[in-house]
Structures are given as C-alpha cells and as structure tokens.
C-alpha cells in the first residue's frame, strides 16, 4: 500500500503548501541580487506572481541600463566633436540660419562668388530662385552671341 493513500485531504493540502512555499523560496533565493531586491520585498504569494515580478524587474533594469549607456555614448560623442559642440547644436545653428534667410529682404540679391566682372553679369538679369531651401543664383551673361 503506497504511503500517500493514508493521508487526508487536509494533509495533502498542507504538504502541497509546503512544497509551493519551498519552490517559491528556492526561486527567490536563486535570483540575481538586483532582481531579488525587487521581488523579495513584494512578498509574492505564489510562484507565477513571483515569476511575473522578476520578468518585469528584469525588463525595467535592461531599459534603464540601455538608457544610461545611450546617454553616456551621446555625451562622449558630444565631447569628442570639434570645438566642444555636439552634432545637435550644429543642427540648431542651421535652423537659425534658415530662419535668418527667410527674414531677409527678398529684393536684395548677393552677387555670386567667383567671377564678378561687369561684362559677365548683367545686374538686371541676375535673379534668385529657391530650390529645396538653397539659394541658387542664376546669372545670364550680358552679351549673348546669337
């Protein structure tokens, strides 16, 4: 006759509760220290809730580690950029320059760089057009041969 047949339902429930408690204790004591610091104070009542807490804590720790390493990498990259400026500061400067270009007088046209002699550029025919935010100077020669 097997030994478990002599137990009552109450005895079986008591043994199962002890086994569950032992499994929960073994699970929590086997966790890494950082996870145990989160799971143990919560005092989960059963193994599935302890497992869910441990998974959530692990995901949270991984997110915070990624965020801190990413912030550190961005900071190091900003320090190694020339003149102590980060890439993002340079972009802000470009945005400010675009705003300044938009606020300029549209009737004022800068002469193009390079050959600016009077015989090559007819000031009346110099005009500007806007392609993709860049100013392109279209200069027609004063003396066309045709």
135 DSSP β-pair partners: 130
| pLDDT (average), residues 77-104 | 65
Instruction: Retrieve residue 67's tokens.
Output: 């965020």
Instruction: Retrieve residue 51's tokens.
Output: 């497992």
Confidence of residue 12 (pLDDT cuts 50, 70, 90): confident
Write down the pTM of the prediction: 0.43
What's the pLDDT score for residue 126?
Answer: 45
- 79 pLDDT more than 90: no
What is the percent of the chain with per-residue pLDDT over 90, rounded to a whole number? 13
Dihedral angle over CA of 42, 46, 52, 53, nearest 10: 10
Task: Please count the other Cβ atoms lying within 10 Å of the Cβ belonging to residue 93.
Answer: 10
What's the pLDDT score for residue 146?
Answer: 47
Confidence of residue 52 (pLDDT cuts 50, 70, 90): very high
What's the pLDDT score for residue 117?
Answer: 54
Q: Which DSSP helix (H) or strand (E) runs through 131?
A: strand 127-131
Q: Which of 77-81, 85-89, 121-125 tops mean pLDDT?
A: 77-81
Q: Where are the alpha helices (DSSP H) in 30-128?
A: 33-42, 47-80, 87-103
- Of the candidates 22, 23, 51, 26, the one whose C-alpha atom is nearest the C-alpha of residue 39 is 51
Q: Which of 64-73, 101-110, 135-144 tops mean pLDDT?
A: 64-73
Instruction: Retrieve residue 11's tokens.
Output: 């005895």
The domain segmentation of the chain, as residue ranges, is: 3-103, 105-146
| Crossing angle between the packed helical segments 47-80 and 87-103, to the nearest 10 degrees | 60
């Amino acid at each position: 006759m097997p030994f478990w047949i002599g137990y009552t339902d109450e005895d079986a429930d008591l043994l199962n509760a002890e086994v569950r408690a032992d499994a929960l204790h073994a699970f929590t004591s086997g966790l890494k220290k950082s996870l145990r610091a989160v799971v143990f104070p919560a005092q989960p009542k059963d193994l599935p809730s302890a497992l869910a807490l441990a998974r959530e804590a692990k995901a949270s720790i991984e997110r915070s580690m990624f965020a801190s390493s990413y912030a550190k990498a961005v900071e190091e990259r900003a320090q190694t950029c020339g003149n102590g400026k980060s890439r993002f500061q340079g972009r802000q400067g470009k945005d400010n320059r675009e705003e300044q270009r938009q606020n300029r007088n549209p009737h004022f046209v800068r002469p193009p760089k390079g050959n600016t002699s009077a015989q090559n550029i007819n000031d009346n025919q110099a005009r500007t057009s806007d392609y993709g935010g860049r100013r392109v100077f279209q200069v027609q020669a004063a003396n066309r041969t045709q």
